[in-house]
Homo-oligomer: A and B are copies of this chain.
Amino acid sequence: MDEQPRASQTVRTLLQLRELILNGELSPGERVSELGIVERLGVSRTPVRVALVRLEEEGLVDCLPTGGFVVRAFSEADIADAIQLRGVLEGMAAQRAAERRLSRDELRGLRDVVGSLDALVRQRDLTIDDFSDYIRLNDQFHGLLLQLADSPVLKRSMERVLSLPFASPGAFVRVQAELPESREILVIAQEHHRAILDAIENGEGSRADHLAREHSRLARRNLDISVKNQRQLDRVPGASLIRLRSA
């Protein structure tokens, strides 16, 4: 990965530790030993401790009552809830954006992204790169939506939900790419994007809200599909943190 020699030990430790957890090098339920991390990352206990506190607030590790931390495990229900919650928050963002009666100028960014997505989805055969582009543009769409809501409080809350990697808008796109009906799902998702933009342009707050919520149900559907196939589930970011009942 890209080194950040300028960054402080604390920041580097946080990033590296987060990656260790997300890449599954630390298993769910496993105690995260401070000394162990110290040896692995070559920093002192102090930055490790700060990073662990931050990761606990993020929800990636849990605080043991006796002291210390363990890597958190997430059930299918947890992921479904996180996706639903993201949908609700994006609904609030879309509704606020719609009710602010934004000017053409303010909406240009969102229109451009929707336009780019249109061009992408219109293609017949989609390559792996196309899906990467889709994920990037999709993330941009959701980011712009949040920005247009103009609410730091909402932004902060959303950022916390998205710190669970499988709750992010693009989390299940790579799974979806493997499905025979993958292009159809993209067409539907893009129709949602267009409709949300239309609702915002016309000041239709409630419609924007409901569309954003419905949009998140696509991710939920992809989750349901993934659960039936471990290989697909492994394509999801942070897959190692997922613990299914059956497993």
Contacts and interface: CB of A to CB of B under 8 A. Distances in A.
A50 interface: yes
Contacts of A164: 153
Contact of A57 (B54, B77, B154): B54
A89 interface: yes
Q: Chain A binding site: helix, strand, loop or mixed by DSSP?
A: helix
Contacts of A49: 50
A122 interface: no
Given A78-B152, A88-B92, 4 more contacts: A50-B50, A85-B153, A157-B160, A160-B160
Given A88-B89, A89-B88, A82 B153 contact: yes
Contacts of A91: 88
Interface in A137-185: 151-154, 156-157, 160-161, 164
Chain A: interface size category? 20 to 34
A28 to B, nearest CB: 15
Interface of A: 49-50, 53-54, 57, 59, 77-78, 81-82, 84-85, 88-89, 91-92, 151-154, 156-157, 160-161, 164
A53 B10 CA distance: 12
Nearest to A156: B59
Nearest to A79: B153
A50 B164 CA distance: 23
A161 B152 contact: no
